[in-house]
Structure 1
Amino acid sequence: MHTVLTRGNAILAYSLSLLACLTFCCFVSTVFLDYRTEAKINTVKVLVKNVPDYGASREKHDLGFLTFDLQTNLTSLFNWNVKQLFLYLTAEYQTKDNVLNQVVLWDKIILRGENTVLDFKNMNTKYYFWDDGNGLRGNPNVTLTLSWNIVPNAGLLPSVFAYGSHSFKFPIDYSVSPV
């Protein structure tokens, strides 16, 4: 006869195998869903200053200030396999030194059960909009894009871009007024 430990081991191994199979089925049931939705972004106020960067080199670098409006409905993104969303607003632009610059300006975590209809007006950026040189002043094509990571119960952690982006340009002159 089998001992109690042998029977307990067989039951535990069977249970874990069954749970792994069910978790895989959960993952497969939502992996092919389209998690994109439309986002409307608009800049309200845009300024650029030339200030010393005391953290790195003492040289003067461009620091951008902007306020933005954001409207989107993320209700359709939540299903039984989504725990939370990690939203982030990025700015992409090109300078003579770098072909691609990407800066995260704002982020937010939305948990299951929280309000998923976002209608923000006149929001300030959460993080500084530093450039590693003087590439913001007069830059004609800065694009704001809303993206998110979906944190699932089981499966991959996809990074998704929203439909819609907003392009704007920085002023040619540096601002001297306080922000």
Structure 2
Amino acid sequence: MHSLLARGNAVLAYTLSVLVTLTFACFLSTITIDYRKETALKTLKIEVKNLPEYGVAKKLNDLGHITFNLDANLTSLFNWNVKQLFIYMTAEYETPTNELNQVVLWDKIIKRGENADLHYKNMRTKYYFWDDGNGLKGNKNVTLTLSYNIIPNVGRLPLVGSIGSHSFGFPSEYTR
């Protein structure tokens, strides 16, 4: 006869083995899904100012102001394994001092059950668009892209870039 402790251990070990197998099967069921979606970004108002950044140094740096439209239907990204989405818009540009600059300008968390059909008009950036110098004035090759992290219940955490981007240029004169 087995003791009560040995029987409890056997039941627990079997239960955990079944749960691990089911979890792995659930992970395999969503690993091949293509999460890339079409998005539309458009800039409406673009300004650049030359202001002192008081947080780091007193030197003058470029500060960009952008007003944009965003259209993206991310509803179909939610399946049984997606808990929430962390979406964010980045600006990428090149300056003489840095080959690649990436700045996060806006973000949003969308939980399961919330509206994931995004139609934003005349939105301002959520975060400041600072450049560590004078790289924004007259820069004609700034690209806005929308990306998102998918937070699953089980499995890997994919970082997905949306299909579509928007390129624009900053004015060659500072705005007062």
Give the alignment's TM-score, normalised by structure 1: 0.97
Q: Distance in 2 between matches of 1:116 and 1:52?
A: 38
Aligned-pair distance for 1:19? 0.6
The secondary structure found in structure 2 opposite 1:134 is coil
Amino acid paired to 2:78: F
> CA separation in 2, counterparts of 1:41 and 1:83?
25
Distance 1:13 1:133 in 2: 60
Q: Aligned partners of 2:57 and 2:21: how far apart in 1?
A: 54
Alignment-derived partner of residue 25 in structure 1:
25
CA distance in 1, matches of 2:77, 2:136: 34
Q: Any stretches of 5+ residues in structure 1 without a counterpart?
A: none
Q: Corresponding residue for 1:82?
A: 82
Matches within 5 A, 1:54-133: 54-133=54-133
Unmatched segments (≥5 aa) in structure 2: none
The Cα offsets for residues 125-147 of structure 1, whole Å up to 9 and x where unpaired, read as: 00000101110000010000000
1:53 Cα deviation (Å)?
1.0
Distance (Å, rounded) in 2 between the aligned partners of 1:146 and 1:63 = 21
Give the corresponding residue for 1:170: 170
Shift of the alpha carbon at 1:86?
0.3
Counterpart in 2 of 1:7? 7
Cα deviation, residue 157, structure 1:
0.4
Shift of residue 13, structure 1, vs aligned partner = 1.0
Counterpart residue number, 2:48: 48
Please give the per-residue CA displacement for 1:13-37, whole angstroms capped at 9, x wherever unaligned.
1111111111111111001100011
Residue 40 of structure 2 aligns to a residue whose secondary structure is strand
Distance 1:4 1:61 in 2: 72
Q: Which amino acid aligns with 2:23?
A: T
Aligned partners of 1:57, 1:72: CA distance in 2, in Å? Answer: 38
Per the TM alignment, residue 116 of structure 1 is displaced from its structure 2 partner at its CA by 1.2
Distance in structure 2 (CA, Å) of the matches to 1:125 and 1:106: 5
Identity of aligned residues (%): 65
SS at match of 2:15: helix
Residue in structure 2 matched with residue 149 of structure 1 by the alignment: 149
> Deviation above 4 Å: which 4+ runs of structure 1?
none
Distance (Å, rounded) in 2 between the aligned partners of 1:166 and 1:85: 22
In 1, Cα distance between the equivalents of 2:126 and 2:10?
A: 53
CA RMSD of aligned residues (A): 0.6
Displacement of 1:75 after TM fit? 1.4
